[in-house]
Structure formats: structure tokens, C-alpha cells
Amino acid sequence: MTAVLSPTSAVGFRAQITGASLWDLVQMECLSRSRQVVRVNGEGGVGYLYFADGRVVHAVTSKLMGETAALEILGWTNGLFQPCQRAWPATFTIETSCEGLILRLAKWRDEGASNLVAFPGRAVPSGLAGDGGAAVDQYEEIEIEEIYEEGEMPAPTNSDHPAPAAGVVRSELSGEFPVTMRLAPGGGILASKGADEDMAGVVAYAHRLGQLAGELLGLDPFVAMECTFKGGRLLLFEEENGETVALRPRTENNLQPLRDRLGL
């Protein structure tokens, strides 16, 4: 994020910072307790953050307003942060403190990360509906089935060295898997669909046994496992971030594209 900082008055320094995170810049603005509007040009478009009394009091993007807009803007990772002149709203739409906003953002990110499937274009978690009168209803949760289309899967990686990247694999998973589960490295259930806690135990232990079998045989780190049962199949793989994903496909599903990607 590149920032061009300038005080509201004509007195003071002008600064240009490159490589700062947006959140750093927001905290600087909060600490300075300045009253100003900052235009943020990010990968999601243009947004405006209104600072006053040491916190963000209002935010707006092309589609959102209030805290949801602030969270969307704060979720951007690249862009330009520049003070600007802009009309102030009649009333402030954000009551949350700077620290509270940090927590909301962290929670939002966790919720986003816990989805087995990335939701392209999903700007705001549904749980935030109603905050500050934002137009959250435009961002209804997209069902997994809707974003998956046959043939959209990216080209397989080198099958000799499969290493499923979290985001990539996430976006490939489809509604063709009636049972899905994502476990944290510590075994916590991050997300689950059609699965219960018992399955978490099975998946976590099976994963560990697979790792152990590989270690005992002197083979390389565990990547994935496909199990064929009398009445179904189970795919289990470890992502780069250490999370474990388990999928139960429908019987009629063609798993070859996923097998190719996982090197199975």
C-alpha cells in the first residue's frame, strides 16, 4: 500500500510511504486523532474512510456504507491511501472503536478463511448485515454449487510435486461433495458441511496415521490420501497452511481432475 499523508492544515510534513499495510496507516490516522477523509484505491475499487476523534467514523465504497464498507476497504491488500476533500455525512455510521474494528476485521477474515470454498465477489460476511445501514443484502452468500463449473479447474500442477495451495484448492471444491470438512492443524473444525464431530476425529486420526506410515517408510511428507470404501470414497489432503481438508464425493463424480491436482 502506498500512502500519501498530509495534515489537514497547510503546516507540517507531507509523506510518501511505500510498503505499509493499510491497517498501519489507519492506526496512524487514529493515533493522530485527525479529522479527515482518506481515499483508498485498492484492488476492490475506491473507498473512503472518514477519520475523527481517533477512530474511523464513516466509510463508503461504491456499494457499501458504514462498518461493512470499512471492513471491505480494510480487507484490501494493495493500493493507494491518500487524504482528500470530501463532504462529511450528516451522521456518523460507525460507532466501533479502532480496536473494535481490528477485532471485527480479524473475525471477518477468520470466517472467510473457514469457508471451504472461496466466494468470489463476496465482499461482506452475512453476519454483518444491518451495520450502519449498509447495503449488505446485495451480497447474499453464494452457494458452492453456483461457483463451480466443469472445466474451470486450473491446469494441474506438476504431479510429481503436488502441493495444494489453500486458496487454489479451496476455489476448486464443488457442491459435488456433499460432505466436506476443513480442520485446523490442531484438529479444530474450521468448516464442515454434512459432517459431524465424529468425522473430524476420523479425518484427523487418519491424517496422522498416513503421516506416520510415510515417516516409518522413509517417504516424503504426506500430501493426500484417497480411500475407497465398500459404499463410497473419501479424499483427504493437507494444504500448505497445514489445514486438512476431507471430502466425500458423490459416487458418480469424476475425481480425476482432483486426483491429478493432488497427485493421487
Partner 1 sequence: MAAELPTGLAAAVASSLATARAQMRASLVTLKDVYGITGSFVFARSGHLVARELPAMFDDAALSEAGSRLTRLQETFAAAGDQLEIAVLRFKEHKVYVKVLPAGALCIISSGGVNMPALKMAANLVGRRIAPMLDQVADDPTFADTAPAPSATTAEAAPSTGARPPALAPPGMRRFRGRTVG
Chain residues that interact with partner 1, rule: CB under 8 A: 159-163, 198-199, 202, 205-206, 209-210, 212-214, 216-232, 234, 262-264
Q: How far is the CB of 216 from partner 1 (least distance, A)?
A: 4
Q: How far is the CB of 24 from partner 1 (least distance, A)?
A: 37
Q: How far is the CB of 179 from partner 1 (least distance, A)?
A: 12
Q: How far is the CB of 201 from partner 1 (least distance, A)?
A: 8
Q: How far is the CB of 130 from partner 1 (least distance, A)?
A: 41
CA dist list (Å): 92 to 16, 102, 108: 29, 18, 22
Q: Is 1 exposed, middle or buried (0-12, 13-18, 19+ CB in 10 A)?
A: buried
Q: How far is the CB of 194 from partner 1 (least distance, A)?
A: 14
Of 43 and 198, the one with the shorter C-beta distance to partner 1 is 198
Report the b/e string of 180-202 with b at 16+ CB within 10 A.
bbbbbeeeebbbbbebeeebbeb
C-alpha cell at position 239: 494444504
CA dist list (Å): 169 to 78, 175, 224, 241: 23, 14, 12, 12
Of 155 and 219, the one with the shorter C-beta distance to partner 1 is 219
Of 169 and 225, the one with the shorter C-beta distance to partner 1 is 225
Intra-chain end-to-end CA distance of the chain, in Å: 40
Q: How far is the CB of 45 from partner 1 (least distance, A)?
A: 40
Of 129 and 202, the one with the shorter C-beta distance to partner 1 is 202
Q: How many CB atoms lie within 10 A of CB 33?
A: 11
Of 155 and 217, the one with the shorter C-beta distance to partner 1 is 217
Of 85 and 228, the one with the shorter C-beta distance to partner 1 is 228
C-alpha cell at position 189: 473444525
Of 58 and 193, the one with the shorter C-beta distance to partner 1 is 193
34 CB-near residues (< 8 Å, 6+ apart)? 7, 8, 51
Sign of CA pseudo-dihedral 189, 117, 193, 200: negative
Question: Is the distance from CB of 78 to CB of 42 less than 8 angstroms?
Answer: yes
